[in-house]
Each structure stands twice: as C-alpha cells, then as structure tokens.
Amino acid sequence: MNGAPPVERVPKQDRSRATRQRLLEAAVACLAEHGWAGSTVSVVAERAGVSRGAAQHHFPTREDLFTAAVEYVAEERSTALRDLFPDGPTDRHAVVAALVDLYTGPLFRAALHLWVAASNEEQLRPRVTELEARVGRETHRIAVELLNADETRPGARETVQGLLDMSRGLGLANLLTDDKARRERVVAQWSEILDGVLG
C-alpha cells in the first residue's frame, strides 16, 4: 500500500445510473405536485438538471418515464418497510401504522395521479395496470409476513386484503386535507380488530 489517496473516478455506468435515478425522483415529485397534465419529459428533465436529450436516452417516451418512476419508488418503499422491522414480525399496531403510512406521502400521490390518468389514456393503461398488479402482490406478501398472518386459515387472506384496501382509502382521504388525527384513531381500532381476527 502506498500513501496516495485513491483517485476519485466515477465510472460511466455509475454516472448513468445516477442520472436515471435523478430523473425518476424528479418524475415522482412532479407527478405528485402537478399531476399528469403538468408532467412532461421536458419539465422533469429540467427539474432533475438533466438535458432533454439525456432524459430521452433513458426514457424514450413519457409513459416509459412515469411508469418506471412509480415502480422505482414503490420498490424503495417496500425496502423501507422491510427495513423498519429487521427482526421480523413485531406488534401489529406498529405494522398496521407502517403499512398505512405507505399510502400517504408523495409516492401514493404520484401513483394516484398515474392511475387516474391511465383510466382515461389507452396508451398508459396496460402498463400501469400491470405495474399496479405487481406492486399489489408484493405489498400483500410483505403485509402477510409482517402481520404474521396464517394464510391457511379461512378468511386470513381476505382480512389482509381488506386492510390494504383500507390503507388505500385512508391515503385517498388524506389527498385534500390533513387527515392524520382521524387516521390514527382508525388505525388504533383496526389494529385491535386484526389482533382478534388473526389470533
């Protein structure tokens, strides 16, 4: 070993990955703040500090950019959820609160804008539908594990699904007003109900 510091060199591949990530983060923020109509590749490229050409190199179409963006953050959130409980299942109230938190905040807002846009735009719809099904299955799987639910018991699967539907509904209720206080009371009550049902 000699004493010289390592030369700071960012390989081309890493720079490309960093650019991609900046674009995806900017796309999610843009969609959550301005909606689909206000979210174009140009607007996102500018927000990310990336040239329009570089943006189009990564994402040839607006649909490519936004479905990739929502998928990217959905994966980030799954990871974050797992990392919250590194030692596996913990008390159910904490798990329910963490699951519900997945549906408030910028990811859910961005996804919601994308769903609503996709419901009217045939070009967007198949990709968003496929993405949503995949994210939904992944979230269900994590939820079952964290809630320590035995899916061989009749009704356990539908109980967890209903909880995730409730979480989505709570996220929607939070879109126009800060619904935190009410949400916390609902979460407390439904955590108790789940404890009784899941055993």
Q: For residue 7, with 0-12 CB atoms within 10 Å meaning exposed, 13-18 middle and 19 or more buried, which class applies?
A: exposed
**Judged by CB, which is closer to a copy of itself: 19, or 174?**
174
**Judged by CB, which is closer to a copy of itself: 79, or 148?**
148
CB of 10 to a copy of itself, least distance (A): 37
CB of 37 to a copy of itself, least distance (A): 5
**Judged by CB, which is closer to a copy of itself: 91, or 165?**
165
CB of 36 to a copy of itself, least distance (A): 8
**Judged by CB, which is closer to a copy of itself: 14, or 165?**
165
* Residue 46 vs residues 6, 16, 30, 34, 189: alpha-carbon distances, Å: 33, 17, 11, 14, 45
The two three-digit tokens of residue 180, written as one number: 């935190």
Question: If residue 162 lies in a helix (H) or strand (E), which one and from where to where?
Answer: helix 156-173
- Which residues would be at the binding site for a copy of itself (CB under 8 A)? 33-35, 37-38, 109, 112-113, 115-120, 125, 128-129, 132-133, 155, 158-159, 161-162, 164-173, 175-177, 182, 185-186, 188-190, 192-193, 196-197
CB of 111 to a copy of itself, least distance (A): 10
Number of residues in the chain: 199
13-43 exposure pattern, b = at least 16 Cβ within 10 A, e = fewer: eeeeeebbebbbbbbbbbbbeebbeebebee
